[in-house]
Chains A and B, each alone.
Chain A
């Protein structure tokens, strides 16, 4: 099985997949990369959520520190980024579920759903944050 590993003797002889840089950028490719990127960002978001719950258990001091960090300008930038990530990853996940059902593969449909997912993420995030500011949840 040695030749099947990347460091095997025959590695240089085998054809390799075209590298990312060879491809022309298209929207479905950007949508796919964004799905992964937002998924990884949300991993960070889940860590923040776990820290928040832990701080709530630990008491007012720990909770105050976490809330101060999240309420700082950089905290708000991160939270807005996470909001965009939640909505994008949600829309991208729904796209994938439709594909799993065997539909939506036509290039036109796939391009349109990619753009729709991106637009939805941006619009939904702005609407949610505008609402949060309006009701005084975010200052």
Chain B
């Protein structure tokens, strides 16, 4: 749904044919996939670099602006792409309306929830460093 609309696409579709939202999911998946090409290559590189590090070196690595920004971009674009991708999988395989709605809500909740926690963690380490008191 676009903007602050409470009317559902289904309600609009029942009255006026297409709900005119068919393309947005397609576009989100394509645009995020293009962004993820460099981001996931960076992720593989960063994972190898961080793998042998102890706690303090890992914190120092994430405190470097380039790494913090790339990490934020990586998880943000990834969770957007994942939410869109799994949405399609759920819509393909789950027909029972209640189960489908539950699975779609769970997917969105997981993606936004995990994104928030990961983004907060990255920013906290980047700005404050060290453990939470």
Indicate whether B122 reaches chain A with its CB closer than 8 angstroms.
Answer: yes
Task: Find A93's partner among B36, B44, B114 (CB 8 Å cutoff).
Answer: B36
Report the count of interface residues on B (CB-CB < 8 A): 40
* Chain A neighbourhood of B51, CB < 8 A: 132, 137-138
Q: How far is the CA of A15 from the CA of B38 in the complex (A)?
A: 44
The residues in B between 43 and 94 inclusive whose CB is less than 8 angstroms from any CB of A are 43-44, 48-49, 51-52, 55, 58-59, 62, 71, 74-75, 78-79, 82, 85-86, 89
Given A53-B71, A56-B59, A57-B132, residue A43 in contact with residue B86 (CB < 8 A) = yes
The residue from B44, B71, B75, B131 contacting A83, defined by CB atoms under 8 A apart:
B44
Interface positions of B from 72 to 124, Cβ below 8 Å from A: 74-75, 78-79, 82, 85-86, 89, 95, 110, 114-115, 117-118, 120-122, 124
Q: Which chain B residues lie closer than 8 Å to A58 at the CB level?
A: 131-132
**Partner-binding segment picked from A22-30, A44-52, A106-114, A115-123:** A44-52
B16 within 8 A of A: no
Q: Which residues of A contact B36 (CB under 8 A)?
A: 90, 93
**Does B121 lie within 8 Å of A57, measured CB to CB?**
yes
A136 vs B124: C-alpha distance in the bound complex, in angstroms? 29
Quick one: closest B residue to A87, CB to CB?
B44
Chain B residues with CB under 8 A of A64: 55
Q: Give A58-93 as 1s and 0s: 1 = Cβ < 8 Å from B's Cβ atoms.
A: 111001100000000000000000010010001001
15 new A-B contacts, CB < 8 A, other than A49-B118, A138-B48, are A40-B86, A42-B78, A43-B82, A47-B110, A49-B74, A53-B125, A57-B125, A57-B132, A58-B132, A59-B55, A60-B55, A90-B36, A131-B48, A135-B48, A136-B52
Q: Mark A residues whose CB is within 8 Å of B.
A: 6, 36, 39-40, 42-43, 46-47, 49-50, 53-54, 56-60, 63-64, 83, 86, 90, 93-94, 96-97, 100, 128, 131-132, 135-139
